[in-house]
Amino acid sequence: MEINTRRDTSETTMKKEEEEEEQPLSPAARVFHSPEFNCYVIAVIGIKKKIEADVIIEGLKHTLIRHPRFSSKLVNNGNKKRQTQTWVRTNVVVEDHVIIPDIKTQNIENANADAFLESYVSNLTTVPLDISKPLWELHLLDLKTSDAENVGVIKFHHSLGDGMSLMSLVLACMRKTSNPDELPSLPHQNRPSSRSSWLTAGSRGDSRFLWLVMVLWSAIILALNTVSDALEFIATAMFLKDTETPIKGDFRLSKSKKMCLVHRTVSLDEIKLIKDTMKMTVNDVVLGVSQAGLSQYLERRYGETKKKVGEDQESKKNSNNMPKRIRLRSALLVNLRPNTGIQDLADMMAKKSKCRWGNWIGYIVFPFAIGLRDDPLEHLRKAKRIIDRKKHSLEAALTFIVGKFILKSFGVQAAANIINRALSNTTMSFSNLIGPIEEISFYGHPITYMAPSVYGHPHALTMHFQSYMNQMTISLTVDPTVISDPHRLLDDWEKSLQIIKAAVQERGSCPLD
């Protein structure tokens, strides 16, 4: 036990130290500890060279464990009827959080190594973290896969923070390979807004009446869209269910199941080529390609089902295998923070400064238009129309605010039940994070890819996209009893990207070198 030899005995200082030593869990963190949402964030990190475990452990001692949440354990106080949960600062032994499995590599090569990694990560989804210690751990695997020399797997409990915060914290522990003193650089996000251009036009005095009408109309559209989205969310929580497709699971029957995590890396330059030609964002393209990939995958799955029941092949030669109307919606996770906070988090760990922390995420219910298209670019246009309409809505902020209200008014269990029901009536989760634009290193270990995801929520499929340098990594977390062939879904996604890229080039884009 450390002995504090400082002679500061003022009541204010003592009270401040006590508050820092023990803090109650936020309502959102308590939801993530409920049986319905025992959620974890997990990230597979490819490393370019052999791992030096002692170097990484020493680095963690000077960074990660200086963050209050990563040096605090969860303590339950009171009885079952009136239980309180608090974070209590503790002495962290980093070596207890770093797991180095003994892997017999002589019989593990190439594809076998990839399968071993998938099995290892899948097994991690069945093992809860030890609540007697801070709720995180890092696995260092001396395993050469098809896309990395060695692999690290970092696992957090979701109560520590939202995915954006946690990945930003991981990035704050990294440095540019070209300059070990500099933090990772993220691409500048240009978010032009038609509404802002109207404001500018009004300030110039160009048709002030027209400017006023447009601003008023924009406010009306914003209010109508928000009300419409709020009613849909309420209906979803009560009765509005997605179509029972081959990728929709029933989590009432699959609690505590082992999840399967797979990933694949594709060219970000190809996605940017489509983006620039179609005058869209990267997120628009990713959503459009995902819609096309899901359509291809479901077409096959429905076709396989028809073959099993012996349907006459002649009767379906000129028709799709899928039903004509499929309601398939995704819960899109939206970061509500004003900035990514990498520098702030680095300062917090280095200087013990203050930084906003916690779960600050909202949801958008995004409907995928499932179906085969004669024109593959229609998938992009449809996705862009939907997401542009969602941008003119306060749906994400509203779900966050209402969630906090329900938590405070009705308690954690009621909030968990409502959110669980709403998500269970949709099909999947989807998120997209922007990553560094140049190579970074994890305590001197250059990174080849990052594949983060989440599990524990009521979906059989989660799609997560993480950009890094000139590549995009697609991570799928699936319930293998529902989706037994996740690599085929990745194949369909990649094939859809190539089809859409070819269609874009055919219509006049510059060829990709």
Active-site residue list: 158
Q: Are 99 and 138 in contact (CB under 8 A)?
A: yes
Q: Are strands 72-78 and 83-89 parallel, antiparallel or unpaired?
A: antiparallel
The stretches of 267-376 forming alpha helices (DSSP H) are 268-278, 282-308, 342-351
Integer Cα distance of 476 and 260 in angstroms:
8
The DSSP code for 148 is: B
For residue 380, with 0-12 CB atoms within 10 Å meaning exposed, 13-18 middle and 19 or more buried, which class applies?
buried
- Rounded distance between C-alpha atoms, residue 124 and residue 120, angstroms: 7
DSSP 3-state assignment of 449? Answer: strand
Report which DSSP code applies to 451: E
Sequence-ordered list of residues with C-beta below 8 angstroms from that of 374, at least 6 positions apart, any chain: none
Distance of CA 94 to the CA centre of its chain: 26
Give the span between the Cα atoms of 37 and 416, in whole angstroms.
7
Handedness of CA 403, 407, 410, 412 (dihedral sign): positive
Could you tell me which of 216, 196, 222 has the C-alpha nearest to residue 389? 222
Question: Where do we find the tokens 């892997």?
Answer: 103
What's the CA gap between 92 and 191, in Å, rounded? 42
- DSSP label at 188? P
Residue 157 host element (H or E): strand 150-157
